[in-house]
Amino acid sequence: MPIEKLSDAAREAFLAAHSDWCHDGVRDAFTRRFVFADFSAAFAFMTRVALLAEKMDHHPEWSNVYNRVDIALTTHDAGGLSARDVAMAEAIEALLA
Ligand SMILES: C[C@H](O)[C@H](O)[C@H]1CNC2=NC(N)=NC(=O)C2=N1
């Protein structure tokens, strides 16, 4: 189902409020690298994000190398960023707060 894309203004407002997140203009995604003490902590975080993703029906693109988790949020059904990515990023941030 098509979803409305995020406006440029809303994207810039998100980035201004969340300095750890970047915009990948090629993928039209919000990206952030998370670094943990070790693999166990990184995977525990991924487990929590996975449960969040199922609950929100919005799934990250991500990769993990040992203690590092790289997340990209974009909305496939919109062909780029949507409000769902803002909500997901904020929910991920709340996990760490
Ligand atoms: C059918 C299901 O609701 C959709 O495929 C959802 C699932 N998770 C999703 N995740 C992301 N990142 N983008 C989507 O467009 C998307 N769509």
pLDDT in tens, 43-89: 999 999 999 999 999 999 999 999 999 999 999 999 999 999 999 99
The interface predicted TM-score (ipTM) is 0.95
Distance 25 CA to ligand 1 centre (A): 20
Picking from 35, 1, 37, 21, the residue whose alpha carbon sits closest to that of residue 90 is 21
- Domains of the chain plus CATH, in order, are 8-94 (3.30.1360.20)
**Which of 3, 4, 58, when mutated, tests ligand 1's pocket best, judged by the most ligand atoms within 8 Å of its CB?**
58
State what percent of residues in the chain have pLDDT above 90: 98
Q: Quick check: helix, strand or coil at residue 65?
A: strand
Q: What is the mean pLDDT of the chain?
A: 97
Note if the pTM is more than 0.95.
yes
Between strands 22-24 and 29-35, the pairing is antiparallel
Cβ-in-10-Å burial (0-12, 13-18, 19+) of 36 comes to middle
| Mutate-to-test residue for ligand 1 from 49, 77, 84, 85, highest number of ligand atoms within 8 A of CB | 77
pLDDT for position 2 = 84
